[in-house]
Chains A and B, each alone.
Chain A
Amino acid sequence: MRKFLTAKAELVEKVNDVAKKDGRTIFSIVNEALEEFLMANEKNKSLYEVIEELKTIEIAKNAGMVFVPEEFHENVINRTSLGKNDYKSWNEAGRIFGKYLEVNNMKELKNIERVIKYLIGGVSEILFSENRVVCICPKMSEQRSEELAEFLEGLIESLGFIISSKEISRGIIIIKIKKQKAG
């Protein structure tokens, strides 16, 4: 059985354009979107959150990142000590990632916080405010904490902040920052 639902006319028109372009009916597109929304809703996720998370994934992918088994990475970095070049590379990777965020209009602190949380995985707490960045992840080794701190530093600087101090312990990173003055 079919029923009627009202929506903003401008949105309906845009959906109608998409339907025409894709050679589909507006009925099928709208019902599919509503059905998928309900499915995501059942998993306690809003479509907005899902789309934002996917944007993060796309950025990470385009920035040349790859998935690795976490345990493997921890083993490798614990076997080999981080040299000057490694720190530099992690910092550089952070800078590149920051630029990708900027290009994708994701410079808002709330967005950056979410992106970092996604990238680090398993992180129990992350806070990105105007004056400090805090990352707490008890299961992270000392080496991993150090490389992550470098990545964060590069990211923070590329977003126009100056680092005033940093403290790194196993599983805890605290970086104090301030906004770079324009000009």
Chain B
Amino acid sequence: MPEKIEKKLLVVRSDILEKLSEVARKENKTLFALTNEILQDALKASEMKTTIREIVDFYRLMKIQKESGSMVIPMNLLLSSLKKSNDKMKILKEWNDAGEWYGKYLIAKFDNPLEILPSLLSTSFWHVSEVKINRKTNDRIAISIIAPNVDQLLIEVTVEYLIGIMRALDFYNIKNDILHGIAILEFSKELIEK
């Protein structure tokens, strides 16, 4: 005789229950089985010290990143390829161009790219321990990045990438302080001599 499964009741919003029943029907599952699957996933998320909402949001950001033509490579190999090049200016220009393209990609994808940019940068700049975007006024934005354990060259290319993104979003770079492991940048809608 099959073992009897102990069940418990959960209170849910009726609109959610309706949609859930529809999905269960479509997937040819019982509502009970589908609910158990979802709870299991929610518990898995909780074990990862996150929530399903955060996971779905993070997934959405990663998807944007991947679809924009980004790839992942080991950081040490990126650095060695950067250092191998004799033409640093060319490398910086290429990152700037790549940033500008990414900025245009964001314009094409979103009505307000500046709104999504902070979350995109925090989830995709894995080499940076902190990235902050401060919208000082409608026309001024400050971006700071902190990456204490990262090679200076990687910070420099990251800065160029950011300048490229902001350029696509119609912001000029007016201040650019790069210290060891820290970069503080300011952007303005108006071009001001640095």
Do A and B come together as binding partners?
yes
CA distance A65 to B52 in the complex (A): 25
CA distance A39 to B23 in the complex (A): 11
Q: Which of B35-43, B137-145, B176-184 contacts A (4 or more CB under 8 A)?
A: B35-43
Number of A residues near B (Cβ < 8 Å) is 68
Q: Which of A50-58, A127-135, A158-166, A169-177 contacts B (4 or more CB under 8 A)?
A: A50-58
Q: Are A29 and B42 in contact (CB under 8 A)?
A: yes
CA distance A12 to B66 in the complex (A): 36
Report the minimal beta-carbon distance from B72 to chain A, rounded to whole angstroms. 4
Q: Which of B13-21, B109-117, B166-174 contacts A (4 or more CB under 8 A)?
A: B13-21
Report the minimal beta-carbon distance from B117 to chain A, rounded to whole angstroms. 15
Which residues 22-76 of A sit at the B interface, judged by CB distance below 8 A? 26-27, 29-41, 45, 47-48, 50-51, 53-54, 57, 60-61, 63-73, 75-76
CA distance A144 to B80 in the complex (A): 15
Which residue of A2, A60, A67 is within 8 Å of B12 (Cβ)? A2
Which residues 1-49 of B sit at the A interface, judged by CB distance below 8 A? 5-14, 16-17, 19-20, 23, 31-32, 35-46, 48
Q: Are A65 and B72 in contact (CB under 8 A)?
A: yes
Which residues of chain A are within 8 angstroms of B192 by Cβ–Cβ distance? none
Known A-B contacts A5-B17, A71-B69; the reply to A31 vs B74 at CB < 8 A is no
Report the minimal beta-carbon distance from B75 to chain A, rounded to whole angstroms. 5
The answer, yes or no, to whether B89 is at the interface (CB within 8 Å) is: no
Known A-B contacts A2-B14, A69-B98; the reply to A33 vs B41 at CB < 8 A is yes
Q: Which interface class (under 10, 10 to 19, 20 to 34, 35 or more) fits B?
A: 35 or more
Which residues of chain B are within 8 angstroms of A167 by Cβ–Cβ distance? none
Report the minimal beta-carbon distance from A49 to chain B, rounded to whole angstroms. 9
Known A-B contacts A5-B10, A34-B20; the reply to A71 vs B98 at CB < 8 A is yes
CA distance A138 to B53 in the complex (A): 36
The answer, yes or no, to whether B102 is at the interface (CB within 8 Å) is: yes
Q: What is B's interface to A at a CB cutoff of 8 Å? A: 5-14, 16-17, 19-20, 23, 31-32, 35-46, 48, 51-53, 55-56, 58-59, 62, 65-66, 69-78, 80-82, 84-85, 91, 94-95, 98, 101-102, 124-127, 154, 161
Q: What is A's interface to B at a CB cutoff of 8 Å? A: 1-15, 18, 26-27, 29-41, 45, 47-48, 50-51, 53-54, 57, 60-61, 63-73, 75-77, 79-80, 85-86, 89-90, 93, 96, 118-122
A-B contact pairs, 22 of them (CB 8 A): A2-B12, A5-B17, A8-B39, A11-B43, A27-B11, A30-B39, A32-B53, A37-B38, A47-B56, A48-B41, A53-B59, A54-B62, A63-B74, A66-B154, A67-B124, A69-B69, A69-B98, A69-B102, A72-B95, A76-B91, A119-B72, A121-B71
Contacts A50-B59, A72-B98, A122-B71 supplied; 6 other A-B pairs, CB < 8 Å: A5-B10, A7-B8, A12-B39, A34-B38, A71-B98, A72-B94
